Amino acid sequence: MKFFADTAEISEIRDLAATGLLDGVTTNPSLVHKSGRDFIEVLKDIAEVCPGPVSAEVVGLDYDSMMREAEVLRKVAKNIAIKVPLTPDGLKACKALTGDGTMVNVTLCFSAAQALVAAKAGASFISPFVGRHDDVGFDGMQLIADIRMIYDNYDFATEILVASVRHPIHVVEAAKLGADVMTAPPKIIHQLFKHPLTDAGIAGFLKDWQASGQKI
Any idea which residues carry the catalytic annotation?
A: 83
92 CB-near residues (< 8 Å, 6+ apart): 63, 121
CA distance 112 to 95: 19
CA distance 131 to 16: 22
Quote the DSSP letter at residue 163: B
Q: Is 127 helix (H, G, I), strand (E, B) or coil?
A: strand
Q: Where are the alpha helices (DSSP H) in 51-195?
A: 63-73, 88-99, 112-120, 130-135, 140-154, 168-176, 186-191
Quote the DSSP letter at residue 136: T
Reported as type and span, the H/E element at residue 63 is helix 63-73
- 104 bridge partner residues: 82
